[in-house]
Amino acid sequence: MDFLLQLLVNGLVIGSVYALAALGFVLIYKASRVLNFAHGDFLALGTFVAFALATSLRLPVIPAIILTLLCFFVLGLIVERVVLRPLIGKEVIAVIMVSIGLSSVIKGVMYLIWGPGYFLFPEFMPDVPIIIGDLYLSPVHLLGLAVSAAFLGLFSLFFKRSTLGVAMRAVADDQQAALSLGVSVRKIFAVSWGIALVSAVAAGVVVGSITSLSTEGLSTIGILVFPAVIVGGLDSVPGAVVGGLLIGVLENLTAGFIDPVLGVSLRSVVPFVVLVLILMMKPYGLFGTVEIERV
């Protein structure tokens, strides 16, 4: 029972990270129907930039992270402007190929600079576990969960309350109608990229502080984002959150209960099995947009 609880908690922590990463991915898709295959690579790059600022430049960890988030917001605007805007209106496959190309370039750059090794974030929290009953919670895990939750909360507030956030949802709903009211669709695309990279880097930094850093490992989160967003519904922000949490929990339950029995690791397979099962029942995902039809 306690083992189960422990797995659930760990699952939620890593799931919240997936949720955060998935949010950025969904945002870009919702606004501009672009599937960003480089999402995981931006996540990894941002985490390593924060790491480099903290270790090579010896900035304190928190300012290093905040500085990285700001830089990646701007990087998002630049990537949209330079790489994606020329592709507006082009074939979907062309846009996908460009994002795959971007992914390779970022991977290459990271490999050149940091190589294949594992690194550790400088510690910035006491590593004394908090024990509640039989439950071991590390402060870093709790902080990670809190940070992910805070980001998710902030983003949802932004989409509900701010005029820019509402306009972003409007563009996702009917681009031409938004244009007719003076919404600058270009600005919305750019801001989606900015916010998407911020959410990716935030997710990466949380994972990075919980576990070790490797470019490979972090990029892989980009792949795990797929089951999360597809389970949730490709164009649903709440869906991304639920999908992320679900995948995180399932991964941990598999690792805890099934892997020891079979002696092989299935933890990274299970999310995709669930993905297929859910799509068979709900082709648009759990929360995906189904056309509203009035009767």
Partner 1 sequence: MTQPATLGTPLAGSPAAAPGAAEPLLTVNNIEVVYHDVILVLKGVSLVVPKGQIVALLGTNGAGKSTTLKAISGLLSAEEGRVRQGSIIYQGRDIANADPASVVQAGIVQVLEGRRIFKHLTVEENLRVGTVTRRDGQIRQDMEMVYHYFPRLYERRHQLAGYCSGGEQQMLAIGRALMVRPQLLLLDEPSLGLAPMLVQEIFAIVRRINAERGTTILLVEQNARAALNVAHYGYIMENGRIVQEGSVAQLKNNPDVKEFYLGLTESGTRKSYRDVKAYRRRKRYM
Binding site for partner 1 (CB under 8 A): 163-164, 166-167, 169-170, 172-184, 289, 292, 294
Least distance between partner 1 and beta carbon 57 (Å): 39
When the beta carbons of 256 and 288 are compared against partner 1, the nearer one is 288
Backbone angles phi, psi at 287, to 5 degrees: -125, 10
CA distance between the termini of the chain: 48
SS3 184: coil
Cβ count near 51 (within 10 Å): 24
When the beta carbons of 88 and 277 are compared against partner 1, the nearer one is 88
At 135, which helix (H) or strand (E)?
A: strand 135-137
Q: Are 256 and 7 in contact (CB under 8 A)?
A: yes
Q: Which residue has the tokens 């600079």?
A: 113
Helices (H), the chain: 2-32, 39-55, 61-79, 92-114, 139-161, 163-173, 175-180, 185-210, 215-232, 237-253, 259-262, 270-281
Least distance between partner 1 and beta carbon 292 (Å): 3
Least distance between partner 1 and beta carbon 165 (Å): 10
Q: Are 213 and 48 in contact (CB under 8 A)?
A: yes
Least distance between partner 1 and beta carbon 185 (Å): 8
Least distance between partner 1 and beta carbon 156 (Å): 14
Least distance between partner 1 and beta carbon 191 (Å): 12
When the beta carbons of 211 and 289 are compared against partner 1, the nearer one is 289
Give me 71's structure tokens. 């830089």
Least distance between partner 1 and beta carbon 231 (Å): 20
C-alpha 102/C-alpha 147 separation (Å) is 28
DSSP-assigned letter for residue 131: E
Q: What is the dihedral of CA 79, 82, 87, 89, to 10 degrees?
A: 90
Least distance between partner 1 and beta carbon 225 (Å): 23
C-alpha 97/C-alpha 114 separation (Å) is 26
Give me 231's structure tokens. 């389970």
Q: Which of 131, 149, 147 is nearest to 61 (CA)?
A: 147
